[in-house]
Each structure stands twice: as C-alpha cells, then as structure tokens.
Amino acid sequence: IRNSAENFSRLSLELGGKSPNIVFDDANLHNALMGVIAGIFGATGQSCVAGSRLFLHEDIYDEFMGMLIERTRQIVVGDPMDPKTEIGPVATEQQLETIEKYVKIGLEEGAKLVIGGKRPEHMKEGWYYEPTIFEHDEHTGCLVTEEVFGPVLSVMKFSTEEEIVQLANSTDYGLAAGIWTENIGRAHRMVDQIRSGIVWVNTYRSISPMAAIGGSGLSGYGREGGLDSIEDYLEKKTVWINTSDEQMDDPFI
C-alpha cells in the first residue's frame, strides 16, 4: 500500500473477513450443514471468505449443533498426500501459533469450547490443528470479531430477522455471507440488508472468474474477477462534439 501511494499506482485490496453463515429454521439442514463444514473447515479455514461465524435460528439450534458436532468429529486430519485426509496442516508454524493464541484468549474470555481446541494427538509432527467449534452467548470477544484464519468456528443463536441483520453486520469486515432458507422473500431481504460484497444463498464458496470478489471495511476495496476487475484499471474518456453548423452565441450576451 505504501509503495502504491508513493508511486500513485492504482490498486485493489481483497483482504480478510469474518463472514456470517446464517441458518434459518426453514432451511434444508443437511445442505446447510455441508455448506457450514465447507465454509469453515475447507482449506483448513485458511480462506478470506471462511464462514467463521455461524448463526443458528433458536428453533433448530440444538438439532443442527448435534449434526454439526457429529460430522466434525468424523473429519479426518492428516497428511494431504493421503487420499483419506479431509483436513491438512495450516500454511506456516507462525499461523499455527496464531490459532493457538486466539483459542487461548477465547477461552479466557468465556467462550464455550464444544469440540477440538488443540493439535491432533495422532499427528506428532507438522502444523496441524483440530477442527474447533465454540459456542457464544454474546457477540463479543476476539473469536467473533477478529479473523483467526484457521479451522475455528464460532456459533451463536438468533430469533428474528432484525436481530440477525444486526449481528451479521456487527463487524469491521464486509466480505462474504451465507444465507440458508427456503423462503425466497426472506432471502432477498437478507441479501439487501447484510453488508457484504458476496452473498451466497443456499450454497457457500461458489466461485467463478466471471463473478466479482471483494468487500468493504477491513475486507478491502475494489474487486477481483469479472468485468469489475478490469474497470478498476481503465481510464474513461469524455468527448463533447458540437455537430451544429450554426454560429455560436456570444457567451457574454
């Protein structure tokens, strides 16, 4: 950024996120579960669009949490060269230490650890971390406000559309969001009200080179992908041509 400023260069910044994944009581729970798992544990959570904040409607909270814990417990952590592996290591030792730091602080702040929260015991070497889930009573603390960039999921319950819009937007980020509902009207209302550069409805992490990627706030500015990424680096030219043969009026008369 500093070099760009000094050279007056154009740039776009696609940065991090603290993306909400929202499951309403009328959602297809199996599909939502698959989207939640992919959203936070895919790529070992090392994704800018990771759905690291899961919001569950109070009427399906217990049922969905049971499904989520059961599937998370079955996830195979191991060598990425092993075909049976579902989650591999994080990218660097420093990142592993960062994840551990966040988990430690989260516990000190009162977050309830549901599953995971440590390095896998069967992996004696490497930068591995277990898929981890926390429950939260309040939308406060580092685990729900800061990007961990690892396989750490924070879960909260909600009751109304108004409440979930407020919770989803209670972040300095604005990159991505997921909405799970069979109510098309509700889906449109959420898309309109949630502050996010990308919104997935009944899916998560779908991408295409034709679709723009980017956000607002700490998630950066500008767009990558699609025509928007080209527009950022083009200069528009405005041309005015007088096609009349009539004599122009004196501007001071």
pLDDT tens-digit readout, 69-102: 999 999 999 999 999 999 999 999 999 999 999 9
Please tell me the distance from the alpha carbon of residue 143 to that of residue 17, in angstroms, as a whole number: 12
CA torsion, ordered 206, 207, 208, 211, to nearest 10 deg: 100
From first to last of its 253 residues, what are the pLDDT tens digits of the chain? Answer: 778 878 888 788 889 999 999 999 999 999 999 999 999 999 999 999 999 999 999 999 999 999 999 999 999 999 999 999 999 999 999 999 999 999 999 999 999 999 999 999 999 899 999 999 999 999 999 999 999 999 999 999 999 999 999 999 999 999 999 999 999 999 999 999 999 999 999 999 999 999 999 999 999 988 899 888 888 788 889 999 999 999 999 999 8
pLDDT of residue 249: 94
Cβ-count burial 180-198 (b if 16+ within 10 Å, e if not):
bbeeeeebeebeeebbbbb
| Mean pLDDT estimate for the chain | 95
pLDDT of residue 83: 96
Please tell me the distance from the alpha carbon of residue 140 to that of residue 109, in angstroms, as a whole number: 9
pLDDT of residue 243: 96
pLDDT digits (tens, 9 = 90+) for 17-42: 999 999 999 999 999 999 999 999 99
Query: What is the distance of C-alpha 130 from the center of its chain?
Result: 20
Using alpha carbons, list the distances in angstroms from residue 197 to 79, 80, 102, 165. 34, 31, 26, 15
pTM of the model: 0.92
Q: Any idea which residues carry the catalytic annotation? A: 14, 48
pLDDT of residue 229: 86
